[in-house]
Amino acid sequence: MSVLISGSIAIDHVKTQRASQENLLGGSASYAAIAASFFSPVGIVAVVGHDFPDEHLEVFKARGINLDGIEFSGGETFRWSGEYMEDMNDRETLSVALNVLESWQPSVADSQKTATTVNLLANSHPLNQHAVIDQLGAGPGFTIADTMDLWIQISRHELESLLKRIDLLVLNDSEARLMMDTPNVVSAGHRLREMGPKYVIIKKGEHGAMLFGENEFFACPAFPLHDVFDPTGAGDSFIGGFAGYLASLGKKGYNFADLKSGIARGTILASFTCESFSTHSLHDLTPAAFEERLKTFRQYCEFA
């Protein structure tokens, strides 16, 4: 029972107000895959260039991730550079170079097709997300798609048709407001559901996440961090952890309680991601440290 994750792999340069590092492993698929691999076997479908560091490939390999769907292209890897202000909610993109990502067309490897039970379409062009669904066929029991403001603005039509092919849409609050043209996130969540997906998750960063189902709802706070080191990839780790947890349940359909449990676990992985650059703090996260934080989180959320 494994998770197939398609999306971007990037080389990031991240600057915060107290540290800066180049050549970091980044991209939606990278964060999601490493988080998901905490719970389940994972396959990646993505593209990298000739400049992609071996050490980053080793990170995937060390976690047993199936890399057969990674295309090794002659060009340069997708690069992103950004700076966080004193308020970590305030981020400026310094540069973006799509490079090999520009003409990429995802190709799911045969070795990845049969085992897939959760298909996570991490943030990527909606046409690429469609292509992965086309290649996988009816195999996976549960398909999740993430998106972003850019696709809402320039590929709305393809995104809308995608919504009819997935089980769950995940996006952040500003994107939900943009897509539904309303300031009310609760209303946006319900109306996004009516466009196709059975479930919608709206991510709210430091304020947690909301899950919308038919006549069902779940509000999950974020894990409180005194000190956010680098929030890059927190949302991707969140949904990767969510997908990995679902796949680990070893069944085909998931009920609302399963999704709630998945969100709590994704929240914990996202909190670890925020405590270091890149995926570093996920690399040697132990099940004991994870369970300890999950237990604490439960206490933080319980009331009588």
**Distance of closest approach, residue 138 Cβ to a copy of itself, in angstroms:** 30
DSSP secondary-structure letter at 38?
T
**Distance of closest approach, residue 152 Cβ to a copy of itself, in angstroms:** 18
SS3 letters across 104-156: CCCCCCHHHHCCEEEEEECCCCHHHHHHHHHHHCCCCCEEEEECCHHHHHHCH
Handedness of CA 302, 32, 152, 145 (dihedral sign): negative
**Distance of closest approach, residue 86 Cβ to a copy of itself, in angstroms:** 6
**Distance of closest approach, residue 260 Cβ to a copy of itself, in angstroms:** 4
How far CA 121 is from CA of 81, 126, 236, 294, in Å, comes to 23, 9, 11, 26
Nearer to a copy of itself, 111 or 184 (CB): 184
Nearer to a copy of itself, 131 or 185 (CB): 185
Nearer to a copy of itself, 41 or 266 (CB): 266
**Distance of closest approach, residue 187 Cβ to a copy of itself, in angstroms:** 5
Nearer to a copy of itself, 268 or 282 (CB): 268
| Bridge partners, residue 210, by sequence | 202, 219
User: Where does this chain bind a copy of itself (CB under 8 A)?
Assistant: 86-89, 183-187, 190, 204, 206-208, 210, 217-222, 224-228, 257, 260-261, 263-264, 298, 300-304
Nearer to a copy of itself, 8 or 261 (CB): 261
Q: What gap in Å lies between CA 37 and CA 32, rounded to an integer?
A: 8
Residue 206 CB coordination number (10 Å): 15
**Distance of closest approach, residue 196 Cβ to a copy of itself, in angstroms:** 19
Q: Residue 281 — φ and ψ, nearest 5°? A: -75, -10
Nearer to a copy of itself, 158 or 206 (CB): 206
Nearer to a copy of itself, 101 or 268 (CB): 268
**Distance of closest approach, residue 246 Cβ to a copy of itself, in angstroms:** 14
Which among 2, 100, 39 has a CA at the least distance from the CA of 266? 39
Residue 77 near residue 104 (C-beta atoms within 8 A): no
